A and B are shown apart, each in its own frame.
Chain A
């Protein structure tokens, strides 16, 4: 597998920029990254968009994360990814809003590979459990919707060279190590 390092600006205005990356590539993300997870996904799937409605979300990125509160001199606290598989069943309504880049950690089900193909979207993996390190790539943060969800409210990060590895590309091809079925010693796992 030959891998490369590319830079990507969010939101992604040119879909061809996403087609160029393949599993295992390193990507450095800069620009606007939406941040939300389980409870906001649940609301979006139920057709409740709150203050997200009316925004242009085409080519936008979503980061599955709930950061710790910001201390005095920083825009955000620790902000590593949460496990992405929990969002699998709630992913399509988010892609339907225009999101094309998903950032999280760990394995995702086959349904998400199919969705990446359908929407020409990508799933990117960042360093799990490295919230202090990743905080260094966030320049600003503001809450934009579902404030009542507290730490799970929707916010927007201004990120700079935020490091990720391509997990699933727009063709639905996935990084092999993130697939439990391909691990040694795993038999009939679904």
Chain B
């Protein structure tokens, strides 16, 4: 049994939450640098160039990549041979509060969703199993604009896979003009209704190019990415062929009467990071 101390968890999370606000992940930067070279639509190329100059400005001047410093999602994957501190929730909330205050990140949440009162720094905790004594700590800071571009549907269980693909493209296309493409598309298929949302969110954590291990779903991811890029919205919806950086599908067993499908978009400001503890 390997024990992870409260201090180690808090320290690692602190560093991760801070870094992601100012630096894009290497895979995203690489993708953007390639995209700006090959994009032919003038406004879309200018948009991609602005996104890259923004990344430089954020890193050099320690200004957050985006003013929507979001709601951080914290994913802890741990194996059966690991003992985590008992108060993981409290450690995460306190660390988020500490980092957001120290870094002067925007207070982007309210305690009451209807009365819109009491600003606070909230976070979303997610946990998942991992092999043996592995502990992976991941964060994904999600802005409200991306979060609004989420959709769940209860499809008929008889829906053929090709029609599920059509549904996903039809769902994503109109959303592209309301968020900040190029996006990462997270898709959750199966499970129960709320699990499909969890799976779609989990999919948004994957690195660009990290294909599904199941060849059937891997092919579907590739086809969906091509189709979404053919829609014509493009970078910041200025046209061209760079609407999606990648499409990731996570799937789970489901009931014979159901086929829940959730789609969640992640904007180009991919404030994501992962470390092993």
Contacts and interface: CB of A to CB of B under 8 A. Distances in A.
A96 interface: no
A135 B238 contact: no
A80 B51 CA distance: 11
A46 interface: no
Contacts of A135: 57, 61, 63
B233 A133 contact: no
Contacts of B177: 106-107, 177-180, 183
Given A186-B231, A187-B170, A131 B179 contact: no
Contacts of A82: 68, 144-145
Nearest to B238: A177
Contacts of A176: 239
Interface stretch (A9-17, A49-57, A67-75, A115-123): A67-75
B91 interface: no
A2 to B, nearest CB: 11
Nearest to A150: B119
A77 B180 contact: no
Interface in A169-190: 175-180, 183-187, 189
A103 B66 CA distance: 17
Nearest to A38: B116
B127 interface: no
Nearest to B42: A3
24 contacts: A69-B104, A77-B63, A78-B66, A82-B68, A85-B178, A106-B179, A127-B50, A127-B236, A129-B236, A131-B54, A132-B54, A136-B57, A150-B119, A151-B119, A176-B239, A177-B177, A177-B234, A178-B177, A180-B176, A183-B173, A183-B232, A185-B169, A185-B231, A186-B174
